């Protein structure tokens, strides 16, 4: 055992991330990138002390390398080469960091895994308490962090303060299914169900609908995976494939989907805007099907173009940006920026995760929680956020690492949960 391992064992490094991820997301989710960077440096030091390279599943390694190389190659044809170069470098750092963290997660022994679970449950509970405090006080902490006034000098309202928790609700919808594992082990199924109900209640009081849908889908996936895990695995892989092949058909399907939305009486502005975004982004994706427009070029593709969206019953129809920053769908953004090859790589990463869970995660609780986490990730990735946003990539990486630390008990030279 080297000096670093003696004073900072692997479980301690990962426990820091486990204890901080949910509370930090409730305060300032952009800081999650810093958390990921710090624990990665510790993981690198731990590997250096053992004089070992990180051990990682070959398929995952190949997909990450392919994503970095293809993203860097897009500089040649990108409409925003500077952004593409910068983002390719960031992806390289994230890929390398994820490899070290996943390799560290595989070194935990039963005692370290148990202690890690305690820190994870503590951090998740603390994060929920912060959310409830903000709900009760109208966002007092966020108001204080922002000086109680907005950029225009007006006093921050409750809605403005709670809007800051949008990202946190998505993090909670993912972390919940990892926290279920130690919660179930310590308090049984009653404690686990209580945690799900409390978490769903907390994020349902916030603005975005995607995290609520993610928790609901996660719960359904967990229940199904408990009894029919093979069916769930094939269903998730089918969903990934469907999301991929649907991209070229979106321009044709968009009017049909819009009519369905109107027929169901759904009037949420973000839903109608999302449909317009997807139609526009898919049309541009098809225009350059092989190469795309360049890594992280989404924000420039629709600059200056507007679309009229129904905002009933508020102010009726209003004009908004047709593509604000990104398409709000991971596969569509990959196709738009990196062509069909980029979309295949992103779809491949989710598919590899599904296959790895099916082949390597033992135990009914662990397998059900793993599939539920993946389902929640698919919902959030398919409806929210830019796929390359640093805090979002950090969240997905940390979630994968923490899940690996809890559910994977085989030898580290075997496959690793992606």
3-state secondary structure (DSSP) of residue 148: coil
pLDDT digits (tens, 9 = 90+) for 297-332: 998 887 767 666 655 555 556 666 777 888 889 999
In this prediction, residue 57 carries a pLDDT of 79
pLDDT of residue 333: 95
Q: What is the pLDDT of residue 19?
A: 96
Look at residue 116 in the predicted model and tell me its pLDDT. Answer: 95
Supply the DSSP string of 238-301, one letter for each residue: HHHHHHHHTGGGHHHHHHHHHHHHHHTT---HHHHHHHHHHHHHHHHHHHSTTT-S-TT-HHHH
State the pLDDT at residue 415.
39
Determine the pLDDT at residue 7: 44
Where is 309: in which H helix or E strand? strand 306-310
pLDDT score, position 335: 95
pTM above 0.75, yes or no: yes
Tokens standing for residue 108: 């935990």
Residues 232-248 pLDDT 10s: 999 999 999 999 998 88
Tokens of 292: 């795309």
Q: How many CB atoms are closer than 10 A to CB 220? A: 13
Torsion (CA) 222, 386, 60, 400 in degrees, nearest 10: -40
User: Hey, how many other C-beta atoms are within 10 angstroms of the C-beta on 326?
Assistant: 23
Q: Are 239 and 220 in contact (CB under 8 A)?
A: no
**Residue 148 φ/ψ, nearest 5 degrees:** 70, 0
Encode burial over 57-89: b for 16+ CB neighbours within 10 A, e otherwise.
bebbbebbebbbebbbbbbebbebeebbbebbe
pLDDT at 174: 97
**What pLDDT was estimated at residue 295?**
96
Instruction: Of 266, 288, 380, give the one whose Cα is nearest residue 337.
Output: 288
Residues of the chain with pLDDT under 70: 1-8, 148-153, 156, 207, 258-269, 304, 306-320, 409-418
What secondary structure does DSSP assign to 318-348, as a single string?
EEEESS-SS-S-HHHHHHHHHHHHHHHHHHH
Which tens digit of pLDDT belongs to each residue from 45-97? 888 887 888 887 788 999 999 999 999 999 999 999 999 999 999 999 999 99
Query: What pLDDT shows up at residue 280?
Result: 85
Q: Which residues contact 7 (CB under 8 A, 6 or more apart)?
A: none
Of 349, 389, 401, 395, whose CA–CA distance to 99 is shortest?
401
């Amino acid at each position: 055992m080297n000096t670093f391992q003696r004073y900072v064992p692997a479980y301690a490094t990962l426990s820091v991330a486990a204890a901080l991820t949910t509370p930090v997301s409730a305060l300032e989710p952009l800081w999650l990138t810093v958390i990921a960077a710090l624990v990665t440096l510790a993981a690198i030091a731990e590997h250096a002390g053992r004089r070992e390279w990180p051990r990682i599943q070959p398929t995952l390694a190949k997909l990450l390398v392919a994503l970095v190389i293809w993203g860097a190659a897009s500089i040649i044809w990108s409409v925003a080469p500077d952004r593409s170069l910068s983002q390719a470098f960031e992806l390289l750092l994230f890929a390398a960091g994820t490899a070290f963290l996943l390799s560290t997660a595989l070194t935990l022994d039963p005692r370290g895994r148990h202690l890690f679970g305690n820190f994870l449950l503590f951090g998740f509970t603390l994060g929920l308490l912060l959310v409830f405090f903000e709900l009760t006080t109208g966002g007092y902490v966020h108001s204080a962090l922002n000086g109680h006034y907005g950029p225009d000098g007006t006093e921050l309202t409750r809605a403005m303060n709670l809007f800051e928790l949008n990202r946190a609700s998505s993090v909670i919808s993912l972390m919940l299914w990892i926290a279920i594992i130690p919660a179930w082990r310590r308090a049984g199924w009653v404690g686990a169900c209580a945690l799900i109900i409390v978490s769903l209640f907390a994020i349902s009081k916030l603005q975005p609908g995607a995290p609520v849908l993610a928790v609901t889908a996660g719960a359904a996936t967990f229940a199904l995976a408990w009894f029919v895990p093979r069916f769930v695995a094939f269903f998730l892989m089918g969903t990934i494939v469907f999301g991929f092949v649907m991209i070229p058909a979106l321009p044709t399907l968009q009017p049909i989907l819009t009519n369905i939305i109107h027929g169901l009486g759904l009037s949420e502005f973000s839903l109608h805007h999302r449909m317009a975004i997807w139609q526009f982004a898919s049309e541009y994706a098809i225009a350059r099907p092989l190469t795309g427009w360049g890594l992280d070029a989404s924000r420039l593709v629709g600059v200056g173009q507007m679309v009229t969206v129904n905002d009933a019953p508020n102010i009726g129809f209003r004009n908004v940006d047709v593509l604000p920053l990104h398409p709000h769908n991971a596969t569509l953004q990959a196709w738009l920026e990196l062509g069909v090859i980029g979309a295949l790589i992103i779809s491949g990463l989710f598919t590899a995760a599904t296959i790895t869970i099916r082949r390597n995660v033992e135990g009914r609780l662990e397998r059900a929680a793993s599939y539920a986490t993946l389902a929640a990730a698919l919902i959030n990735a398919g409806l929210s956020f830019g796929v390359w946003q640093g805090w979002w990539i950090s969240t997905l990486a940390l979630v994968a690492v923490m899940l690996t630390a809890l559910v994977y008990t085989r030898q580290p030279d075997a496959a690793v949960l992606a």
